[in-house]
Amino acid sequence: MKKVFKLLLLFLVIVMWQTSGILAKSDFNEKKIYFFYGIGCSHCAKVEKFFEENDLYDRYLIERREIYFDRDNAVLYNTMLDKLRVAEKERGVPIVILGDKVIVGDRPIIDNFENEAKEFLKDEGGEKIEGEVSGGANLTLLMVLGASLVDAINPCAFAVLIVLMSTVLASGQAKKALKAGLAFAASIFISYFLMGLGLYTALGRVGLSGAVMKIIGWLAVVLGLLNLKDWLWYGKGFLMEVPVSWRPNLKKLIRSVTSPLGAFMIGFLVSLFLLPCTSGPYVVILGMLAEKTLQIKAIGYLVLYNLVFVSPMILITWLVYKGFDPEKVEALRKKHLKNLHLIAGIILIGMGVVILSGKIR
């Protein structure tokens, strides 16, 4: 059993290592000058006219970004200014960013742009600003991996899959059990990805403020403390698992599965039962992504998160297919139940501390 537990952890590490490279390679090395503006802004129109009349768009690599109606541009705008530690009360449009230099307002931009642009292009360090902004993505990546690991080792998901595999194996068909387990994992992946994408989109449309990051940080700390409570006093008070009163209906639902197609369909319903004990880390990550991450990259993070989340389901399915007794897996789960809560608690509290420290920008 200890070997299986170690194999599970090794499998998670391999999955995270193989998929993280996709998101880690996000730095830009071009010497871009960023011009942020808003449609309908008269001061921005003056700067645009100045750029056009003096052929500045042709002479310099100027990246134009409209922020009133384009959320991704607005996120990039705030991310870069956060990195440069520009106070919110000092922000506005039009604004030009040249490396670590920020010029705000039509008159300052018109009067100083060309001199600052020439200086910027002579400065080899000027090209690093975009790398620094996306460099924060590496920390975001670690946060996504940490939260997904918390969900991946969640005892609720293990328990559900074990019941499913035991039920399908009762027919005596190992291949059928393999297909059912994989179909179930695929269903959970799809449902959680779609729920995450929907919540991310909703949070983005609401227009979150910088204070949201502190709320997210404290939420992570509280969830971590609740998991530590389950490690110290398991079963007392609120339990970070599927509510006990729901479990009979959940088992009844799973035991109705007779085919891989049935496992796939049931997976969507089961995901709703799992939400109370698996949604905490997911909500923390979604709030963080909605506040600071561009949409395309956020989708990549959601894919990575849910791949890690379902990876233990795939591993357990494979082990059972190869002859490992589901009852032994269940015994292993129960033996390490409190330790899983301990690991989850430590990771969540660590995430909360990092967020509250302001290092996620």
Spatial separation of the C-alpha atoms in residues 82 and 183, rounded to whole Å: 43
Higher pLDDT among residues 223 and 327, named by residue: 223
Inform me whether the pLDDT recorded for 186 exceeds 70.
yes
At 105, the pLDDT band (50, 70, 90 cuts) reads very high
Sort strands 33-37 and 62-66 into parallel, antiparallel or unpaired: parallel
Spatial separation of the C-alpha atoms in residues 286 and 203, rounded to whole Å: 8
pLDDT of residue 263: 84
pLDDT of residue 128: 38
Spatial separation of the C-alpha atoms in residues 172 and 11, rounded to whole Å: 27
Sequence-ordered list of residues with C-beta below 8 angstroms from that of 323, at least 6 positions apart, any chain: 174
pLDDT of residue 22: 44
DSSP state of 162: H
Inform me whether the pLDDT recorded for 29 exceeds 80.
no
Inform me whether the pLDDT recorded for 14 exceeds 60.
no
Return the closest-CA partner of residue 253 out of 264, 244, 242, 266. Answer: 266
pLDDT of residue 246: 66
pLDDT of residue 193: 92
Q: Which residues pair with 101 in a beta bridge?
A: 98
Inform me whether the pLDDT recorded for 104 exceeds 90.
yes
Spatial separation of the C-alpha atoms in residues 15 and 311, rounded to whole Å: 8
Spatial separation of the C-alpha atoms in residues 326 and 282, rounded to whole Å: 28
pLDDT of residue 136: 44
Inform me whether the pLDDT recorded for 224 exceeds 90.
no
Look up the pTM and report it.
0.62
Please write the tens of the pLDDT for every residue from 125-168: 434 333 333 444 456 788 888 888 888 777 676 677 777 777 77
Return the closest-CA partner of residue 283 out of 176, 347, 203. Answer: 203
pLDDT of residue 359: 61
Annotated domain spans of the chain:
33-122, 136-356
pLDDT of residue 28: 38
Sequence-ordered list of residues with C-beta below 8 angstroms from that of 114, at least 6 positions apart, any chain: 54, 56
DSSP state of 90: G
Inform me whether the pLDDT recorded for 111 exceeds 50.
yes
Q: Average pLDDT in the 46-73 region? A: 87
Least confident window among 139-143, 151-155, 223-227, 292-296 = 292-296
Q: DSSP per residue over 106-134, as a string?
A: HHHHHHHHHHHHHHHHH-GGGGGHHHHHH
Q: How far is the CA of 144 from the CAs of 8, 21, 289, in angstroms?
A: 19, 13, 9
Please write the tens of the pLDDT for every residue from 302-321: 999 999 888 888 888 888 88
Q: Average pLDDT in the 205-232 region? A: 78
| 10-34 residues labelled b (16+ CB within 10 A) or e (exposed) | ebbeebbeebbeebeebeeeebbbb
pLDDT of residue 251: 75
Spatial separation of the C-alpha atoms in residues 164 and 344, rounded to whole Å: 24
Spatial separation of the C-alpha atoms in residues 264 and 342, rounded to whole Å: 31
Handedness of CA 22, 23, 28, 33 (dihedral sign): positive
The class of domain 33-122 in CATH terms is alpha beta
Inform me whether the pLDDT recorded for 15 exceeds 60.
no
Tally the residues of the chain: 361
Inform me whether the pLDDT recorded for 196 exceeds 70.
yes
Sheet strands (E) in the chain: 33-37, 62-66, 95-98, 101-104
Mean of all residue pLDDT scores within the chain: 77
Is the peptide bond between 94 and the residue preceding it cis, with omega within 30 degrees of 0? yes
* Residue 308 tokens, joined: 């890690």
